[in-house]
Structure 1
Amino acid sequence: MNKETVKKIVLPLLVLLFVIQFWSGLAHVVADFPTPSDTYVAAFGGVNADGDEITGVLADPFYVNNQDDKGIFWQIIASLKRVFAGFVLAILVGVPIGLFVGMSKSAQYALNPFIQIFKPVSPLAWLPLLLFIFQDINMTAISTIFITSIWPIIINTALGVKSVSEDYMNVAKVLRFSPLEKIVQIILPVSVPYIFTGMRLSLGIAWLVIVAAEMLTGGIGIGFWIWDEYNNLNYHNIIIGIIVVGLIGYFLDLIMGRLADYFDYTKKGRA
């Protein structure tokens, strides 16, 4: 095991120890704030500080009592379904628009002001309007994710198109490529790494947005589950929910990063 690998293992563990110590200190200062040990029991089961036997949120994540009372696994699945529905829609719409903006100066001049205006708008600003339009929790959450996660895909796709060398475009003219041939054989291969970068950012935003959206719309989902635990004064479960959301976000980003590397021809060329 080399020195670099040891650092990658030891340094995060040191930070974790610091976080646990800080957490323990905070629990002693703030009344009723859950301690790390009590949170562990709330997650995996056991006997808490009051001597009560606790089942644990993660010990039985698959239970289903009724439509509105399900284990955390089903809450996560419901949120992921909404996230990927909005994310896929953002890809299907965002990539063609990004190609259009990148290939056409007129399209860039026409659409860029609106992209820059709507890109920084908070998802919570869209939520009431979309809820009024759709009158449906799922459609509201999906459309909110779509609207707020489409911008990185459009911007990065357009950036990828602009990165295509003029020499390649000149070759396409000499060979008399049709617009479709130009896109498929020249523009897309060069733009794919940029597109996947946009998709990676977009997926991160989608997972971020879903928690806030579900807190306001209600229904089943990890966001609403966290909010419901707050209303029930189960602060241990809020911390568990935060950690679960963070871990899932980390793995989603890791998967998209691996996919981006796989389709990045520049890295393959260097390898």
Structure 2
Amino acid sequence: MVSAVFHSPQEAAGSEPVTSSAPQNTMKKIAISAHSTSATGQKYPQKPGYDWRGLVLTVLPPLLGLGLLIGIWALVSISTASSIPSPTDTFKQAVVIFSDPFYRTGPNDQGVGWNILMSLERVAVGFGLAAAVGIPAGFAIGRFEFLSRMFNPLISLLRPVSPLAWLPIGLLVFKGANPAAIWTIFICSIWPMIINTAVGVQRVPQDYMNVARVLNLSEWKIVTKILFPSVLPYMLTGVRLAVGTAWLVIVAAEMLTGGVGIGFWVWDEWNNLNVKNIIIAIFVIGIVGLILEYALIKIATAFTFEEVKS
């Protein structure tokens, strides 16, 4: 139906025009259009709805993976006549353990919380010593070709050695289990930091060094103003790799050296044939390692360039 407007002679004299009546639904459309259009004729942007599809794609895959793991675990438990505890029994045991994680009834009978803290303390000391030595060494090796030629064969020879092979040397030199474990963390953490830092220094654009040479900058200013900002992404990558390796090694080292620690706790539970606690310890080790990795990723993305954040 077409709505027409007829002008009478009275309209020319200032009276109101006489219009035909438009359908009610057509008037509603005009009113809605008037509300969604500005005075200049531009339409206001519509508010986007919630991205449910993105939420599903973010949450659903991890849940499916976790469900697959629990399903396989339950099938293995049934097929082994419950020699491997079921997920339900293990969860009940975990509730009991974490209801009081910091109890202490003796030197070899302590809660899982104390064992985790002791392992983290060893990792922090060994990793800190490795960073204090490895990062400056990486700068020097990457900066000076003579040092690079001198140390590259040594690094290539010692880096593939299993970290646990260094544990007897630590026991022989330090005469104690705790410093030997820290020594093992140190020796396995130092190589990723040296190598990644040296590679970062060697990949600094030569134009930067030419400008520094023209400006006659001191070696300290070259390191702090040119090398350090450029090498930081590589250095943080080495730090991440070193922390992951250190957390892997400390568990095995504590199994061999004894004392308080998450690795010793696993071995002690095996001696007691408590498989539930061993499975719980596996999940605890994985969660702590995941937290360390996530924390270092956040630190790396805060101090590196945009192309490194991905």
Q: TM-score, normalised by structure 1?
A: 0.92
Is structure 2 residue 92 aligned with structure 1 residue 41?
Answer: yes
**C-alpha deviation, 1:5, in angstroms:** 3.1
Counterpart amino acid of residue 122 in structure 2:
R
Counterpart amino acid of residue 234 in structure 1:
N
Counterpart amino acid of residue 209 in structure 1:
V
**C-alpha deviation, 1:21, in angstroms:** 1.1
Secondary structure, counterpart of 2:161 in structure 1 = coil
Secondary structure, counterpart of 1:34 in structure 2 = coil
Secondary structure, counterpart of 1:220 in structure 2 = coil
**C-alpha deviation, 1:64, in angstroms:** 1.0
Whole-angstrom CA distance in 1 between matches of 2:208 and 2:175: 49
Whole-angstrom CA distance in 1 between matches of 2:290 and 2:214: 46
The size of the alignment, in residue pairs, is 259
1:18 maps to which of 63, 68, 82: 68
1:7 maps to: 57
What are the ranges of 5 or more consecutive residues in structure 2 without an aligned counterpart? 1-50
Whole-angstrom CA distance in 1 between matches of 2:57 and 2:125: 39
Is structure 2 residue 166 aligned with structure 1 residue 126?
Answer: yes
Counterpart amino acid of residue 40 in structure 1:
F
Is structure 2 residue 150 aligned with structure 1 residue 110?
Answer: yes
Secondary structure, counterpart of 1:107 in structure 2 = helix
Whole-angstrom CA distance in 2 between matches of 1:218 and 1:227: 9
Identity %: 47
Larger relative CO (CA 8 A, sep 6+): 1 or 2?
Answer: 1
78-87 or 99-108, which deviates more: 99-108
**Deviations 1:25-62 (Å, cap 9, x if unpaired)?**
11112242111011001100xxxxxxxxxxx1111101
1:244 maps to: 284
Cα RMSD, aligned residues only: 1.6
Whole-angstrom CA distance in 1 between matches of 2:309 and 2:134: 29
1:263 maps to: 303
Whole-angstrom CA distance in 1 between matches of 2:94 and 2:155: 42
**Deviations 1:56-79 (Å, cap 9, x if unpaired)?**
111110111122211000000000
Instruction: Tell me if structure 1 keeps the 8 A contact 2:140–2:147.
Output: yes
Which one has a bigger Cα radius of gyration? 2
**Deviations 1:105-137 (Å, cap 9, x if unpaired)?**
111111111111111111111111211111111
**C-alpha deviation, 1:160, in angstroms:** 1.0
Is structure 2 residue 216 aligned with structure 1 residue 176?
Answer: yes
The structure-2 alpha-carbon separation of the partners of 1:269 and 1:101, relative to structure 1 and needing over 3 Å to count, comes to: closer
**Deviations 1:131-186 (Å, cap 9, x if unpaired)?**
11111111001110000111000011001101211111111111111111110111
Equivalent residues in 2 for 1:145-184, closer than 5 Å: 145-184=185-224
Secondary structure, counterpart of 2:100 in structure 1 = coil
Equivalent residues in 2 for 1:181-196, closer than 5 Å: 181-196=221-236
